[in-house]
Amino acid sequence: MEAPGGGEAVAIEPAQGLAPGVALRGMPSAVANAVFASAARRKGEGGARSELTERELAVLALVFDAKKLTQAFKLLETPGALVRHVGARSRRWVYAARGGKAWTHVADGAQEMYLCWPGHYCGCQSFFYNVVSKGDAPMCKHQLAAAIADATGAAESVEVEDQELACMLAQI
């Protein structure tokens, strides 16, 4: 059997003595990361925006439930719902994703935002409950949207002073 892109496909079997599925626990993340890497390669160094192919979308639909995938794309399509904040000098970055069921407003009138890094952290409850505690999902909808944005260049990007970025991160 030939693997996508050429070469031999490798069958992955559960490790000896483990229940089926246990050895594959990290597989959804690896599959999603391969899709994101493929899209990022097409984006290239010029930073031009790319789109996910039908095949990549089909693979993501196998890894993530339809509701989460739909919510992630809704974040990407809504202006200001997902913003990449980049430090002016350091070039360090973090995503701020609009949150809450109705995008609830906080006391000062600004909308609630969750800081997140694809594959590592999000400040939302779903991340802590479904990803960290239960291990039911490889990432929350905010991380998924951020990962898609990273791979395709789809997110709005705002340059901020490094001190402002540090203040944002200090709130975690």
Q: Tokens 């509701």 label which residue?
A: 67
Instruction: Note the pTM of the prediction, 2 decimals.
Output: 0.75
**136 domain residue, yes or no:** yes
**16 domain residue, yes or no:** no
Q: Give the closest residue to 156 by CA, choosing from 61, 101, 82, 94.
A: 82
Number of domains comprising the chain: 1
**132 domain residue, yes or no:** yes
Q: How far apart are CA 51 and CA 153, in angstroms?
A: 9
Q: Give the closest residue to 83 by CA, choosing from 51, 54, 57, 110.
A: 110
**2 domain residue, yes or no:** no
**17 domain residue, yes or no:** no
User: What is the chain's mean pLDDT, rounded?
Assistant: 77
Q: For the segment 123-171, what is each residue's pLDDT rounded down to a tens digit? A: 998 899 988 888 888 889 999 999 999 888 888 899 999 999 898 888 8
At residue 17 the predicted structure's pLDDT band, cuts being 50, 70 and 90, is very low
At residue 47 the predicted structure's pLDDT band, cuts being 50, 70 and 90, is low
What percent of the chain stands above pLDDT 70? 74
The residue among 103 and 154 whose pLDDT is bigger is 154
